[in-house]
A and B are shown apart, each in its own frame.
Chain A
Amino acid sequence: MRSCEDVQRALSAFIDGELPSKERAALRGHLADCEVCRGVHADLLRLRATARTLGPVAPPDHVWLEVAGRIRLQEAPVAAPPPGPGTVESMPTGRTPRRSAIGQWVGLAAALLVITIGVYWFQQTPADAPADQAATQATAVDSVNAELNLALQHSLQAIGELEKMATNDGSAIDPEVAEMIRQNLALTDAAIAESRTALVTNPESESARASLFDALRRKISTLQTTVSLINEMRQGDQEGAARVAEGAGKKS
C-alpha cells in the first residue's frame, strides 16, 4: 500500500479497525510521511466525531444510510455494466486515480453535508423546549456548524475536480442534454452564490443555510451524473447511459 490512492481508499477501514495489522502498519507509515493523506484521515476522524455529537436526537435512518452508502460507494470499484441482449459490450471500466481522489472529496463533502443537514433540521430546538435542553442542543448544533466550513471546502474541491472532467470530456454528451445540464449548473452556481452572500449578512438565516446545503449537494450530484453520462456515452454503452438516469438528482 504505497500510493495515496490506496491509502485513501483504505482509510475508512483503518479508522474502523478493520485492516489487517500488516496493512495497518503500512498505512500508519504512509500517514507519517504524507500530509495530504494525513489531512484526509483527520477529516474522516472528525466526521466520525461529528456523528457522535448527534446525541439522543438522531436524524432519520435514511440519513445514516445515505452517509454509510456514500462512503462505501466511493470506496467500491466502478463495475462494468453486464452486457445484455441488444447491448454493445462496453469497455472494462475501472477507477482511475483521479476519480478515486474525486471520490474521496465527494464522499467527505457529501457525508459532512448530510450530517450537518441532519443535525440542522432534526436537532433544532423545539419551540417549547426547556431552557437547559435548548442550551445543550444549541451547543451540539454549534459544534456541527463548525463542520460546515469543512464540508464547504470539500464540496468545492469535489466540484472543481468534477468540473475539470466535465469540461474536458463533455463532447461525448448529446448536445441538448449537455445544454440542459449546463443551464442547471449555472442555476446551481447562482443559488450557491446567493446563499453564501446572504449568510455573510445574515448568518442565522435558516432559508439561506438550507439553500446553500441543498445547492452544494445538488451541484455535486449533477456533476457526478454528468461525468457518469460522459463515461457511459464514451464507452458506447447507451443502456448504461440510460441507467445514469438512476443517479440524476439522487440525494448525496
Chain B
Amino acid sequence: MRLRGSGRHRPVIALAAAAIGFAVAPGMAEPRPDGATRSQRAAVLDEQGPGPEPGGRGPQQGRGPDQGPMNAEQTDKSVRTLTLGPAGLLELRNLAGDITVTAAPGRDARIEIVRRARGRTDDAAKLGLERTRVIVDHKGDRAIVAVDPGTDRRPPYFVRVMYTVSAPPGTRIVASSLSGNVTIADIKGDITAHVTRGDVDIRRASLVSSVRTIDGDVTLTDLESDRGVTISALSGNVDLQRIRARRVDVDVTRGDVELLTVVSDAVEVKSLSGSVEFEGSLVSGGRYHFQTHSGSVELRLTGSTGMDLQASTFRGSLRLDPSLNLKTPQAMRGSVRGTVGDGSAIVVATTFSGDVAIARK
C-alpha cells in the first residue's frame, strides 16, 4: 500500500502491541493430503529474487536450506485467442503476477500469457516453467484462465505469471490474484476484481460490482454505472474519481478514501484509520454516510441540494462553512445537527479523533 501525504493518520503500530500473535514460521513444511505443502505454495506466492519485479511486490529473501539468490530466469510467452462474443465472461485466476485487461473491437479475447520462472540455476528455472502451467477452459461464451502451480513439495523455483488481455468491450471480467496488480480499462461489462496482495486500477468502466483487496490500493476512474459499486480493502487507499453510480460503498480498515466528482443516490464510506474526502453533488433523497475513527472527514459539496446534516467528532473540531446556512442547528459538545435548504438528502459525517469540515465548493 502506498503512503499518501504525510501519513499523519497512520499510527505507528508497535508489533508488541499486536492483538494476536501469529506463529509465523517460514520454511516449515506442512504436509497435506494431496502432497503439496505450504512451502510449495509459498514458492508460488513469494518472490525470492534479488530485485523487485516491475509491477509486483517487493522481493523476499530466500528461505530454507537452499537460501541464495534466484538469478537464473526462464521466460515463456504464449497467446490464446478465444471467441467469447460481445458479452462473454472471462475469468482470470492468478497466483502471483499482474493482470491487465483492455478493450478491443471484435468478438475475440486475446490473452497473452507470460510465465517468468526464476531459480538458482537454469535447470531449476526451466523446471518451474514445466511444472507451473496455465490452463484455459473455454466453453461457449465463457472462459476460465487459471494457474496450476503443480505439486512439487519444495520447488526450487518461483514463477510469476502475467496475463495481458484484450477483449470485446462488453466482456464480463472476473479477475483474482493472490499477489499482483489488476488493471482494467475501457471494459463495459460487469467487473469483479479480488486481490489478496496487490493494487486494483479500473478506468472507464460501466459496471463494477465488487473490488476487494486485503492489502492493496484501489483506484476507480471515470465510471458510469446504473448499479452499485462495492469496494473494500483491509489495508489500502481508495481513490474514486468521476464516478456516477446508484450506490457507492467503500470500507477500509487502514487507508485513506478520496471521492472526487462523485454523484450517487447513496454513498457510504467507512475507514478505521485514515481520512475521508468527498467532493461531489448530493442527490435529493440521497443518503451519505462518512465515518472514520482516526482521521478527518472533509466534504466539499457542489450543487445546491438541501440536506439534513449530522456531524460529530469526539476529539477533533467541527468546521462548517457559513455559506451552508444551517437552519435550526442543534449543537452539543463535538456534535452538530441541522438542516440545509430543503433537507432532502441525509448526510452523516463522523470521526472519533479527527476533524470534520463541510463546505460548499
Given A127-B308, A233-B41, answer yes or no on A178-B24 (Cβ-Cβ < 8 Å): yes
Task: Specify which chain B residues have a CB less than 8 angstroms from the CB of A233 in the assembled complex.
Answer: 38, 41
Contact A128 B287 (CB under 8 A): no
Contact A246 B194 (CB under 8 A): yes
Number of interface residues of A (CB under 8 A): 72
B166 located at the interface, meaning its Cβ lies under 8 Å from any Cβ of chain A in the complex: no
Choose the segment among A14-22, A32-40, A142-150, A180-188 that binds chain B (4+ C-beta atoms closer than 8 Å). Answer: A180-188
Contact A121 B313 (CB under 8 A): no
Q: A249 is contacted by which of B13, B20, B253, B329 (Cβ under 8 Å)?
A: B253
Choose the segment among B70-78, B275-283, B347-355 that binds chain A (4+ C-beta atoms closer than 8 Å). Answer: B347-355
Task: Specify which chain B residues have a CB less than 8 angstroms from the CB of A246 in the assembled complex.
Answer: 194, 210, 212
Closest Cβ neighbor of B176 among chain A residues: A242
17 further A-B contacts with Cβ under 8 Å, apart from A87-B148, A185-B19, A218-B272, are A84-B93, A88-B149, A170-B22, A171-B22, A171-B38, A191-B293, A206-B350, A207-B335, A210-B350, A218-B253, A234-B30, A238-B149, A244-B214, A245-B196, A246-B212, A249-B232, A251-B249
Closest Cβ neighbor of B58 among chain A residues: A176
A135 located at the interface, meaning its Cβ lies under 8 Å from any Cβ of chain B in the complex: no
Contact A171 B234 (CB under 8 A): no
B6 located at the interface, meaning its Cβ lies under 8 Å from any Cβ of chain A in the complex: no
Given A188-B253, A222-B234, answer yes or no on A174-B19 (Cβ-Cβ < 8 Å): no
Q: B24 is contacted by which of A173, A187, A195, A238 (Cβ under 8 Å)?
A: A173
Contact A206 B146 (CB under 8 A): no
B302 located at the interface, meaning its Cβ lies under 8 Å from any Cβ of chain A in the complex: no
B187 located at the interface, meaning its Cβ lies under 8 Å from any Cβ of chain A in the complex: no
Contact A175 B24 (CB under 8 A): yes
Task: Specify which chain A residues have a CB less than 8 angstroms from the CB of B253 in the assembled complex.
Answer: 184, 187-188, 218, 222, 249
Choose the segment among A41-49, A71-79, A104-112, A197-205 that binds chain B (4+ C-beta atoms closer than 8 Å). Answer: A197-205
Give A121 Cβ to nearest chain B Cβ, in Å: 7
A190 located at the interface, meaning its Cβ lies under 8 Å from any Cβ of chain B in the complex: yes
Task: Specify which chain A residues have a CB less than 8 angstroms from the CB of B144 in the assembled complex.
Answer: 84-86
Bitwise, B151-192 to A at CB < 8 A (1) or not (0) is: 100000000000000000000000011110000000000000
**Docked complex: A235-252 residues within 8 A CB-CB of B:** 235-236, 238-239, 241-246, 248-251
Contact B149 A186 (CB under 8 A): no
Task: Specify which chain A residues have a CB less than 8 angstroms from the CB of B195 in the assembled complex.
Answer: 242, 245
